[in-house]
Amino acid sequence: MLGWALTFLVVALIAGALGFGGIAGASAGIAQIIFVLFLILFAVAMIARAVRGKPPV
């Protein structure tokens, strides 16, 4: 999932450099949404692991 966020970020940077503002804005927005979703799922996984009694790696 983090790979997808980085991919959309790269697409946004390239599109912005080439002057495609609409595509750059959309790609940046998608990258932000995917990154926040990744952070939420990561936090949930760490909390679930802590509740089960396993120490973090």
E strand spans, 1-57: none
**pLDDT of amino acid 57:** 65
Position 19 in a domain: yes
Position 56 in a domain: no
Please say whether the beta carbons of 34 and 1 come within 8 A: yes
Position 57 in a domain: no
Using CA atoms in the order 7, 13, 19, 25, what is the torsion angle rounded to 10 degrees? 70
Position 10 in a domain: yes
- pTM listed for this prediction: 0.73
Q: What does the DSSP 8-state code read for residue 56?
A: P
Total domain count, the chain:
1
Name the most confidently modeled range: 7-11, 17-21, 33-37, 50-54.
33-37
Phi, then psi, of 38 in degrees rounded to 5: -60, -45
Name the residue with higher pLDDT: 12 or 55: 12
Q: Give the domain range for residue 21.
A: 2-51
Position 39 in a domain: yes
